[in-house]
Chains A and B, each alone.
Chain A
Amino acid sequence: MVENRPIGRLLAHFILIIGVIVVAFPVYYTFVASTQATQPISVGQISLLPGDQLLNNYAQALSHGVAKTSGTPVGGMLLNSFIVALLIAVGKIAISLLSAYAVVFFSFRLRMVFFWMIFITLMLPVEVRILPTYKVVAELGMLDSFAGLTIPLIASATATLLFRQFFLTLPDELVEAAKIDGAGPLRFLRDMVIPLSRTNIAALFVILFIYGWNQYLWPLLITNSGDMETVIIGIKRMMGGADADTDWGAVMATTMLAMLPPVAVVMLMQRWFVKGLVDAEK
């Protein structure tokens, strides 16, 4: 594409702008709705310009929620969601880093069997094993707890696989040099493997945090009391039933609030891993 044809550029920009609108409009629409009173929204007369209820709606959502959720404030839900997403992301990274480390750098009996066992779990998403998992969690008394919300989601193959692929690219000589320098397995993990995986960890953290944040089905099953609810469940419960009962302004405000942490994580970590990619260490 050396030529600089104005028509081509116009067309390209036109398509890009359409794309941006398609992606951004629902978000904008939600934002506008979150600044308006409930009445015009529920009768479908929503203005496309922000209204004057912004502070009102957000304050209501944060301080005392809506009647549907027996007045549970959204602040607590956001905190729950944040803790769950953080635990899932950190837990998954820790577990898969260690299991990939074991599979790549140690030779033990049945190593490949274990690897394949981990690998096969990729084919079993949460939904497939949800009933047996529920039974196990219920019998362990972990319903309505952070343990119940996070532990069943932590064991997963995807991150293990990614770490394994990365570890396989580390040259053997690096391992041997460290061995001659006297680094034991844990020391090698701490001084070499983890620092070299920094960018992978950052990227995975972003993906897994959002994965944890967006969990719907599992928290829905596992939480009964309002104070363990995550924000995603909360939104759903706020909107139940007929349109007329829904306090749309507060719901939209909650939706906006629920979007902020993932966005913040992406923006924060993106700088991190783009930096990591630019000064690649290998």
Chain B
Amino acid sequence: MATVGLRGVRKSYGAMAVLHGIDCEIADGEFVVIVGPSGCGKSTLLRTIAGLETITAGEIWIGDRKVNQLEPKDRDIAMVFQNYALYPHMSVFDNMAYGLRIRGLSKPDIATRVARAAGILQLEPFLQRKPRQLSGGQRQRVAMGRAIVREPAAFLFDEPLSNLDAKLRVQMRVEIKRLQQQLGVTSIYVTHDQVEAMTLADRLIVMNAGHAEQIGAPLALYTTPATTYVAGFIGSPAMNFLPARLAAGGESVELDGGTRLLLGAARRPDGGGPVTLGVRPEHLTVAPNGGLALTVELVEALGADTLVYGRLPSDTTMVARLPGTTTVRIGDIVTVAPAQDSLHLFDAESGKRLG
């Protein structure tokens, strides 16, 4: 167990830079999730920590060792891959024992460690099987077992659940979380799935085009996203962004269609001028006495909630998450209003949060 420190980590392939200086200190036992769309550099970042890629500049610390120059095997980490990367010709036992054998552990030691890991992961009945005789979820568990037996300073997960079906993914997500709490090992987990990210993480790193756009606790990112990028990425369906103008005095905004909204907690007494107003779909409620007139274009009834997709008079599209009892039809005009204290204001140009 150890802390992991990323200090100004940069990576470029020739002239193309993929990581533009990432800084993050990860505490001992912390579960950090790196999240972002494909191509944002999140996997590359994880692979630099594992030592599978060298970094162009910066420092990576694991515990009190600077590991920039160390080979993967000397970094005291274990990695779980997206396609599991089990050794196909070895039994489950041998898969888990392989790294220990190379490290020269004694046979009884290896047997004890593998037995313990197999116990935690309920793999005992499968120890003599080959990976191809296992289901996807079982293979996933073997991959985790291989990581656990090494008793590493940190676990690295590279999208470990994306090859599983939806139901199994939820189940394994819970299992990973429980396991991490039980073992208390520092974990770094890469995913593109924001639900996975929100549920697993003690802290999230949202990546955007090689930058760490925002680092923080999942709920903090949800309630106070630093940029429109983070605001749009965290939460599902994504936050609605409405072009607006901050009125003089900063107590209210005027939307493009002329609608005025009072700002409440988001007020900016010193501001004025064009802004982007962010409203989460779940913070919109039906308000017969005035608000935003939404012409309904699509309705998704999910049972507990109904998602209403529509268009404002200003032609901006908007989504509202309304109670499941709501009955609306395509073509209806629904008047919705945001809860006053849940509005987010962003700079219209830079996308940065105001206040």
Chain A residues proximal to chain B, CB less than 8 Å: 171, 173-174, 176-183, 187, 191-192, 195-196, 279, 281-282
Contact = CB atoms under 8 A, between A and B. Distances in A.
Contacts of B71: 179
A183 B146 CA distance: 14
B78 A180 contact: yes
B85 A171 contact: yes
Majority DSSP secondary structure for residues of A touching B: helix
B88 A196 contact: yes
Nearest to B87: A192
B102 interface: yes
B79 interface: yes
A180 B86 CA distance: 12
B285 interface: no
B167 interface: no
B98 A191 contact: yes
B73 A176 contact: no
A279 B98 CA distance: 22
B48 interface: no
A178 B78 CA distance: 11
20 contacts: A171-B83, A173-B82, A174-B85, A174-B87, A176-B52, A176-B85, A177-B85, A177-B146, A180-B72, A180-B77, A180-B79, A181-B73, A181-B98, A181-B99, A181-B102, A187-B102, A191-B87, A192-B87, A195-B89, A281-B89
Contacts of A178: 87, 98
Given A176-B52, A179-B73, A182-B102, 18 more contacts: A173-B81, A174-B85, A174-B87, A176-B50, A177-B79, A177-B87, A177-B146, A180-B72, A180-B78, A182-B99, A182-B103, A183-B102, A187-B102, A192-B87, A192-B89, A195-B89, A281-B132, A282-B88
Contacts of B77: 180
Interface residues on B, range: 20 to 34
Contacts of B72: 176, 179-180
Among all A-B residue pairs, the 10 with the closest Cβ atoms: A181-B99, A173-B85, A182-B73, A177-B85, A281-B88, A182-B102, A173-B81, A180-B72, A195-B89, A179-B72
Nearest to B132: A281
Nearest to B97: A181
A181 B87 CA distance: 11
A180 B98 CA distance: 11
A194 to B, nearest CB: 10
A182 B103 CA distance: 7
Contacts of A179: 52, 71-73
Interface of B: 50, 52, 71-73, 77-79, 81-89, 98-99, 102-103, 130, 132, 146
B83 A176 contact: no
A196 B77 CA distance: 26
Contact of B73 (A180, A196, A279, A281): A180
B50 A180 contact: yes
A279 B50 CA distance: 33
Contacts of B88: 196, 281-282
Contacts of B83: 171, 173
A280 B98 CA distance: 21
Contacts of A176: 50, 52, 72, 79, 81, 85
A1 B98 CA distance: 50
Nearest to B74: A182
A191 B87 CA distance: 9
Nearest to A173: B85
Contacts of B99: 180-182
Contacts of B86: 177
Contacts of A195: 89
A282 B89 CA distance: 8
A60 to B, nearest CB: 50
Contacts of B73: 179-182
A179 B156 CA distance: 14
A177 B81 contact: yes
A173 B88 CA distance: 12
Contacts of B79: 176-177, 180
Nearest to B75: A180
A173 B130 CA distance: 18
Residue from B83, B89, B132 with most neighbouring chain A CB atoms (10 Å):
B89
A177 B103 CA distance: 15
Nearest to B143: A177
Contacts of A173: 81-85
Contacts of B50: 176, 180
Contacts of A181: 73, 98-99, 102, 146
A32 B292 CA distance: 100
Contacts of B87: 174, 177-178, 191-192
A173 B160 CA distance: 12
B147 to A, nearest CB: 9
A1 to B, nearest CB: 32
B42 to A, nearest CB: 16
Nearest to B103: A182
Nearest to B83: A173
A177 B73 CA distance: 10
Residue from A173, A174, A191, A195 with most neighbouring chain B CB atoms (10 Å):
A173
